[in-house]
Chain A
Amino acid sequence: MASDPPLLILTSLASGPKHGHALLKDIASFAGVRLGPGTLYGAITRLEQRGLIEPLGPDERRRPYRITAAGSESLASSLAGLRRIVDEGSSRLRAARA
């Protein structure tokens, strides 16, 4: 789940609009995951079709994207799910070590 491209893109865009290359660099820096350009644009296509991100005006050939309100909600819901798993995993690990 932590290497799920749509989740990584939404997380990256949560701090502000970015174009493709900036997304790749940001994701590599905060998640340590190097997405391929094809994987990135496959995820961008689906996120845009679902209305979770939207394109801004082009900056030369680059086009920045920003997260939409629906995208923020979807990200919050995914992170809450992840948090539940992290909490549950941590408590089970503590119990096993005790």
Chain B
Amino acid sequence: MSRLLRCYPPAWRKRYGAELLAVLEAEAEGGRLPWRAKVNVVSAGLAQRVRSAGLAGDELPPESRVRAGVLLVLSAWAAFVVAGLAFAKTAEHWQAVTPRRDQGLAAVAYDAVVLAAGLGSLAVLAGILLAARPLVAFMQAGGWRQIRRPVLRALASSGATAAALSAVVTFWARHLTAAQRNGGDRLYMYVFLLVAAGIAGSIALWTQAAVVTAWRLALARATLRGETFLAGGVTLTMGAMTVAATTWWVAVAAAAPAFFGSALPLRLLGLTLAMVVATALASAGTVRAVRAASA
């Protein structure tokens, strides 16, 4: 039963955990806890995590709610980048199999994805630069000790992934044919997926390090307002990329159905769903930040 309490944030568990456990034991009456009570505790615990992170409710001050909204946008952007990388891999060589006369709409949509990705990356970079001065002040005040763990974890993960990627490209991929690199060699495909998982994991760890750091920075109201504006821009580019990527997919499927094979393109469906979910999360974060900024 105490395992259910892990759904709650640690600080909440410390304050209310023992008494909630006593209630659960009383509810179970010496037997098993009814599944409805278990579901209720899990969902309430997750809701409490969302509240504690400043993403719901009004317990935290407006500045913290702005920060929480902006950081949700950053996290959604990171997830979108992973989906975007997978999309780029899927879209490789599409021009080679699509008749030139039918490339018009797909080419426009693909260029729109690339343009929106560039603009979104610039907005994220601007957000980082906006927080650069508070970050320097934080580090000068001895803040490194507080963020050392997540940053070192992210560094180790990206170092290991980069080494693995270089080794695969230098000693293996160069000696394979295009067909072998694109699914013909099973072992290569599994190693490639492992490296891709390493890249996704590194992005997640860097995002976690950024979130941990951002919560500790002393950000002025004007800075938070600027971050909110940029978060809105990032969300717009994510929406644009989702629409453009879907348009590209439909256009290529119509012009060159063989590109996706005969089966239902589950990978593309999954990617599109991931993009939609990430965009929805970013929109929620932007709305949260804008509302808190004007509170």
B-binding residues in A (CB < 8 A): 19-21, 24, 36-42, 44-46, 49, 58, 60-63
Nearest A-chain residue to B46, judged by Cβ: A38
Measured in the bound complex, the distance between the Cα atoms of B16 and A58 in whole Å is: 11
Closest CB of chain A to B11's CB: distance in Å?
Answer: 11
> In this assembly, does B57 line the interface, its C-beta being within 8 Å of a C-beta of chain A?
yes
Measured in the bound complex, the distance between the Cα atoms of B40 and A40 in whole Å is: 10
**Residues of chain A with a CB closer than 8 A to B18's CB:** 61
Closest CB of chain B to A73's CB: distance in Å?
Answer: 20
Q: Are B21 and A61 in contact (CB under 8 A)?
A: yes
Nearest A-chain residue to B24, judged by Cβ: A37
**Residues of chain B with a CB closer than 8 A to A20's CB:** 19-20, 22-23, 26
Number of A-B residue pairs, CB cutoff 8 Å, is: 63
Q: Are B12 and A37 in contact (CB under 8 A)?
A: no
Of the residues B26, B27, B47, contact of A42 by C-beta under 8 Å:
B47
Q: Are A38 and B43 in contact (CB under 8 A)?
A: yes
> In this assembly, does B157 line the interface, its C-beta being within 8 Å of a C-beta of chain A?
no
Measured in the bound complex, the distance between the Cα atoms of B57 and A41 in whole Å is: 15
> In this assembly, does B293 line the interface, its C-beta being within 8 Å of a C-beta of chain A?
no
Closest CB of chain A to B24's CB: distance in Å?
Answer: 6
Measured in the bound complex, the distance between the Cα atoms of B24 and A40 in whole Å is: 11
A to B CB contacts below 8 Å, 10 in the list: A19-B19, A37-B20, A38-B20, A38-B41, A39-B40, A41-B16, A41-B20, A49-B59, A60-B22, A61-B22
Nearest B-chain residue to A62, judged by Cβ: B22
Of A24, A41, A46, A60, most B-chain CB atoms within 10 Å: A41
Contact of A36 with B44 at beta-carbon distance under 8 Å, contacts A61-B22, A62-B22 already known: yes
Q: Are A37 and B19 in contact (CB under 8 A)?
A: no
Of B19, B20, B47, most A-chain CB atoms within 10 Å: B19
> In this assembly, does B208 line the interface, its C-beta being within 8 Å of a C-beta of chain A?
no
Measured in the bound complex, the distance between the Cα atoms of B21 and A41 in whole Å is: 11
A interface footprint on B46-86 (CB within 8 Å = 1, 0 otherwise): 01100000000101000000000000000000000000000
Measured in the bound complex, the distance between the Cα atoms of B48 and A45 in whole Å is: 9
Measured in the bound complex, the distance between the Cα atoms of B36 and A24 in whole Å is: 15
Q: Are B27 and A24 in contact (CB under 8 A)?
A: yes
Closest CB of chain A to B1's CB: distance in Å?
Answer: 10
Measured in the bound complex, the distance between the Cα atoms of B18 and A44 in whole Å is: 14
Measured in the bound complex, the distance between the Cα atoms of B47 and A39 in whole Å is: 10
Q: Are B40 and A36 in contact (CB under 8 A)?
A: yes
Contact of A46 with B59 at beta-carbon distance under 8 Å, contacts A37-B23, A37-B24, A61-B19 already known: yes
Nearest A-chain residue to B48, judged by Cβ: A42
Of B18, B24, B40, B43, most A-chain CB atoms within 10 Å: B40
Q: Are A38 and B42 in contact (CB under 8 A)?
A: yes
